[in-house]
């Protein structure tokens, strides 16, 4: 039996503040999408926090964190004293969280009652891109994405590692 990962309690308040600052809430989203977004923000913070030398108290926004990161490191160049991961992984996580606000802005602009198909397709597209690591998901036919998602769900090793039910640790 595999042990369920537990999130770092010190990062949870930062994660909540970052989500509030960037997209306000996830309560209006499906549970799968909300959990996917929470995992993306959490993953970014796990990678970013070791590189931040100045306290972020009360200033948790993506632009502030990005500014702090850029003061002390160049993406793609690993600091020899750093106990963290290579910059490329951090840059990838940053790109994902930068895209989230845009994705959610588009999604919230769709009336899910008047146009449920477009809304559901957009949710699937966001989930495919972030959770199932299908960056070209928007270029694929819906049926092809559906089958690719099903295959990735079945072979869990192809899905980005996530903390199941992370959203339950966050109140946003």
Q: Where along the chain do its domains lie?
A: 12-166
- Encoded tokens for 56: 């972020």
Q: What is the pLDDT of residues 39-64, one digit of tens each?
A: 999 999 999 988 887 776 667 889 88
pLDDT score for 83? 47
User: 20-24, 47-51, 135-139, 148-152: which range is least confident on average?
Assistant: 135-139
Given a contact cutoff of 8 angstroms between Cβ atoms, the answer to whether 165 and 29 are in contact is no
Residue 10 has pLDDT above 50, yes or no: yes
pTM of the model: 0.80
The pLDDT, as a whole number, for residue 71 is 78
pLDDT digits (tens, 9 = 90+) for 54-95: 776 667 889 888 888 887 665 444 544 444 445 788 988 999
């Amino acid at each position: 039996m595999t042990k369920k990962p537990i999130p770092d309690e010190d990062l949870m308040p930062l994660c909540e503040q970052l989500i509030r600052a960037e997209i306000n809430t996830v309560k209006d989203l499906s549970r799968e999408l909300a959990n996917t977004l929470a995992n993306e923000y959490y993953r970014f913070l796990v990678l970013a926090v070791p590189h931040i030398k100045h306290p972020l108290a009360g200033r948790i926004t993506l632009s502030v964190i990005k500014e702090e990161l850029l003061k002390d490191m160049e993406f793609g160049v690993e600091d020899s004293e750093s106990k963290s991961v290579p910059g490329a992984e951090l840059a990838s996580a940053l790109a994902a969280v930068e895209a989230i606000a845009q994705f959610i802005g588009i999604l919230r602009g769709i009336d899910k009652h008047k146009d449920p198909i477009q809304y559901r397709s957009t949710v699937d597209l966001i989930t495919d891109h972030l959770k199932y690591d299908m960056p070209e998901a928007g270029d694929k036919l819906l049926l092809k994405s559906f089958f690719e998602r099903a295959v990735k769900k079945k072979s869990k090793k192809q899905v980005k590692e996530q903390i199941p039910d992370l959203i339950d640790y966050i109140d946003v």
